[in-house]
Amino acid sequence: MLPDLQTAFRAGTVGRDAAAVATLADDGMENGHRFGIYRNNIFLSLTGVLEAAFPTVAKLVGDENFAVLAHRFIAAHPPQRPALYAYGADFAAFLAGFAPAVEELPFLPDLARVEWAVNEAYFEADAEPLVAEHLAGLAPDRYAGLRFRLHPTVRLIGSDWPVWDMWGAEALPDPRPDGKQDAAQQVLVRRPESKVDVVLLAPGDFAFLDAFARGDTLGEAAAAVAGADADFDLSTCLAGHLAGGTFHSDYTIDAS
């Protein structure tokens, strides 16, 4: 049966299952040599896919180290969908669980999260962003009940590390004398049109958007953030996100 053949072939190549190789091998495939060729091609191809999705991670760890990380990831997480652009969703979690990597470069998983968010945003389906004109004529007393939906391309990444500074970097940052990193950073990734934006957010701004992700109204989000961040400016923040395309045009208003 074809499904059984495909399963065995996958186990013998990506999974390195010697029993599967033995089952499929015929007299002309001594020691699984031909499976080795397929296996190497698969690993090289998928390593290239990961490098394209995580270019900064690849640069910072170096070609040799990235190849090791990629091969271990591929063996543990072979593709589940016939779409290579979707391959790598578990890479950040894999890095977080790979002690040799995080002990030396503890920011690596969060940096990978930023890069995967960029990849997802780029391939996400187009959607109309909310702009200020959509709210024209809305009575002021209705604003508190607005429920904005984040644009489908939006991803929010909060990190204890300066991942926005590192994103796109060509080399590792110079270590500080005290051995500590700079302040934590929060990042917004979005693609309202053709270009992916990677935006550094203030803590209050990040909390504001996170409130909408939880389903809060504008009034609830503003009250929660104002109580936690005295410097938060609602008008400036909201105007910036309407101009930048952070929200989806499909909003609702709670009954007053």
Q: What is the pLDDT of residue 222?
A: 93
Same domain, 39 and 140: no
| 115 lies in some domain | no
Same domain, 164 and 91: no
Same domain, 135 and 227: yes
| 110 lies in some domain | no
Task: Give the helix ranges, DSSP H, for the chain.
Answer: 2-13, 18-24, 33-53, 55-61, 63-76, 91-96, 99-104, 108-123, 163-166, 203-213, 218-228, 234-244
| 116 lies in some domain | no
Backbone angle region of 98, left / alpha / beta, with phi > 0 → left and psi within -120 to 50 → alpha: beta
Q: Look at the chain and report how many structural domains it folds into.
A: 2
pLDDT of 31 over the 90 cut: no
Place of tokens 């957010």: 201
Residue type, 164: W
Same domain, 146 and 202: yes
Secondary structure of residue 26 in the 3-state scheme: coil
Same domain, 130 and 256: yes
Ramachandran angles phi, psi of 197, nearest 5°: -100, 135
| Confidence band, pLDDT 50/70/90 cuts, at residue 27 | very low
| 16 lies in some domain | yes
Same domain, 195 and 251: yes
Same domain, 209 and 97: no
Kindly state the average pLDDT of the residues 19-23: 53
Give the orientation angle of helix 108-123 with respect to helix 33-53, to 10 degrees. 90
| 121 lies in some domain | no
Residue 233 structural domain: 126-256
Considering the entire predicted model, what is its pTM? 0.85
Same domain, 243 and 145: yes
Same domain, 100 and 162: no
Least confident residue range of 112-121, 124-133, 234-243, 247-256 = 247-256
Kindly state the average pLDDT of the residues 241-247: 97
| 119 lies in some domain | no
Residue that wins the pLDDT comparison between 43 and 210: 210
Least confident residue range of 25-39, 41-55, 216-230 = 25-39
| 111 lies in some domain | no
Same domain, 88 and 142: no
| 73 lies in some domain | yes
Residue range 176-193, pLDDT digits in tens: 555 555 689 999 999 999
Residue range 72-95, pLDDT digits in tens: 999 889 888 888 899 999 999 999
Same domain, 130 and 254: yes
